[in-house]
Copies of this chain bind each other. A is one copy, B any other.
Amino acid sequence: MVSGEAWVKKIEAIIKPFKLDEVKEALHEVGVSGITVTEAKGFGRQKGHTELYRGAEYVVDFLPKVKLEVVVDDSLAERVVEAIASAAQTGRIGDGKIFILPVEGAVRIRTGERDADAI
């Protein structure tokens, strides 16, 4: 079953946490029915802050981000990317990134359905 051919894509997006609701709405409109979200910390161009406790200095350059994973049919991928990109944008540094990865197979655990049917 592991086809080797990637008709399905995984879109990973790192966004600002307070944009999650808007992005979810946008994805919903595009027709995405499933999303998985993880809390993450991001390090990038956006500057963090310095914490000082009783003389000890800690540079906190990891900022809170949210990581979204959406697996969709190839045909939908571009629209998903655009939906995320526009909903998550503030124009300020640190808005985040979207990555597209190939997926070779998918299974819906409840039913055992495979690949395109599974997502």
| Residues in A lying within 8 Å of B, measured CB to CB | 1-2, 6, 8-10, 13-15, 24, 33-45, 61-62, 65, 67, 71, 74, 77-78, 81, 84-85, 88-110, 112, 118-119
Contacts and interface: CB of A to CB of B under 8 A. Distances in A.
A65 B35 CA distance: 11
Given A14-B36, A41-B37, A97 B107 contact: yes
Copies of this chain: 3
Contact of A108 (B38, B39, B78, B97): B97
Nearest to A110: B95
Nearest to A104: B100
B40 A40 contact: no
Specify which of A15, A39, A62, A110 lies most central, judged by the most chain B CB atoms within 10 Å of its CB.
A110
Contacts of A77: 2
Given A78-B2, A109-B85, A39 B42 contact: no
A75 to B, nearest CB: 10
Contacts of A6: 102
